[in-house]
Structure formats: C-alpha cells, structure tokens
Structure 1
Amino acid sequence: MNAQLVNSAAEVLHAAMLRGTQTPAGLAVALESAQLLQSPESAAELKRLRARVNELEALEPAPIQTCRTCGAGYELGRSCGTCEFQSHIAAALAERYGDGRPPAEDPHDSPLHHSYRVGRELPEVPRG
C-alpha cells in the first residue's frame, strides 16, 4: 500500500464531499478526474516497468576506457568498436578494389551532357 497515494485519494474524496457529492458514482468521477483510477492492465504494466527500473538500477555500470587510436569510449575488457568498424571498412575496400581505395570518380556524363559551349558560357561580345 502506498500511503502517499491513499492520502491523495482521501484529499480528493474529502474535497468532493465538501462540494456536496454523496453518491458513489460522483466520488468515482472525482477520483477519475484527479487521475487516481487506473485499469488492471495499466496497473500491471506499471508494476512490470517499476520492476525493470529496479533491475536496471541494480546493475553495476561497466567501466569505460578510452581508445588510444581513435579516442572513442568502450567497455573495459572489450575491443574498441569504432576501430573494429574502421578496420572492417578498410578490409572490405581492399577486398573490393585491391589497394583499399575506391576508383576515381566517373566523369558524370549523362545523355544530356554536351561538350560544346552554350550561349550563357560564350564570351561577351562588345556592342557597338
């Protein structure tokens, strides 16, 4: 039993009674409007979430170590994920391209490309 919750409900019921509410339905409406009623499903979900929070708070935080190569943080006793990722990418590039570098960029020629100059690219002709 949560004493704070009981006191909150008692205050809401007392205020409703002072306003003249005497019926059980009126008192239930007062509790609902104060958001003190909940469905069994939401109560079960709240209980599950509180248990999970307690479980996570009980965990010991893993000591963090800083990588000397890239400066990223990682858990003590494990390898640096950032450096592993970078070495994985380098290995994939070397496997695909041989020397580890991608080929030079394409010239970006499209069917609309033309090698001649258009009017806006021509030098200005002096008038007159």
Structure 2
Amino acid sequence: MSAPLVVNTTDGTVWVLHTVTRSELALYAVAGACNCPSYLLATLAELAEHGIAGSADALPMPAGPVVRSELDQAHDDVVGACLARWEEEQENARLRLALASAKRGRSRLRARVAELLAERRETNEALDDAVQALRADGITRRIAPTQALAEDVTPQVLKLRNLPAGQRAALEDPHDGPLHHRYALGHDMPELGGGR
C-alpha cells in the first residue's frame, strides 16, 4: 500500500510527503517548509506515536465541469495578446534585418555597377585611342610616303655627294658597268632585208 500524501496529527500539525527512500520508507516534512533538513523529516510510524487525526491518499478534485473565472479568462486573453504582440515584434525585427541586408546588397551592387561602368569607360577610351592611332598611321602612310622616302634616301645621296668625282662617274653611269655591252651593230644577229 502506498503512503498517504498528507497526514494531520492530533496537535494540529500538517505533514506533507517529502520523499520516499529506496526501501520504500515514506518521509514527511511540515507543510510549508520548502527545504526541510533531513533530521526534521519524520516517518509515518513516528507520526503515529504523536497521534494521527487524518490522512489523505489523493488530493481532492472538483466534481463536475471546471468553471473558469472571469479573472482566468482575462489573464488568458492578456497572455494571448502579449504573445501576438511579441510575434509581431519578432516579424518586424526579421523584416528590418532583411531590409538592412537588402540595402547592403544594393549598395554593393551599385558599387560593382559603378566599377564596371568605369572599366567600360576606360576600355572604350583605350579602344578609341587605338582606333585614332591606326587612322593616323594609315593617313601618314598614304600622305607622307615621299617624306619617308626622302628620309630613307637622304643618307644615300649624301654618300654619293661625298665620293670623289671619278668614283661618282663610275657609279652614276650604268653603261660603264661590267654587264653593259656596246653594240654599234648587232654582230650576232642576221642582217635584215633580204639578199643584199
């Protein structure tokens, strides 16, 4: 048989079941004592020596449906409103965090767009400079070949002017070269004009 939960002694003291030992010995403490030291605990046999006026094996339960008071209902309503408010504040905090994150992301994206635009501008300027250089180089090749030739030929002309007169004549007259043949008449060619 299990030990009773509450024991009333004849002197009017109420004892409450505090603990049950391994050997199933029930120990009781004075009701209202939260942390009762072990030397103040009493067994059911010790309480019987003082005289037991009554005991309860179970706490009483109300009979029939439980009627809630208006105070309990109001308390539940306030708690529900507080929970709803708390959930709303948590949702607002999440939204503020998401907004701040989106703003940081937007700032990073704007910085990246500005970086790409600057890079595109530099690339376009470099490309434009290269096109202008190619156009100028093409125009120079078409318009100024005489200047280029003059610059290339001028050192050779200076060499020829600095040569002595005899050497200059030998270089200037192509008919005096070793490959030139003077033919007054063609010696190796047949004569023209039929039987003479």
Whether these two folds match at TM > 0.5 is: no
Superposition TM-score, scaled by structure 2 size: 0.20
Larger Rg: 2
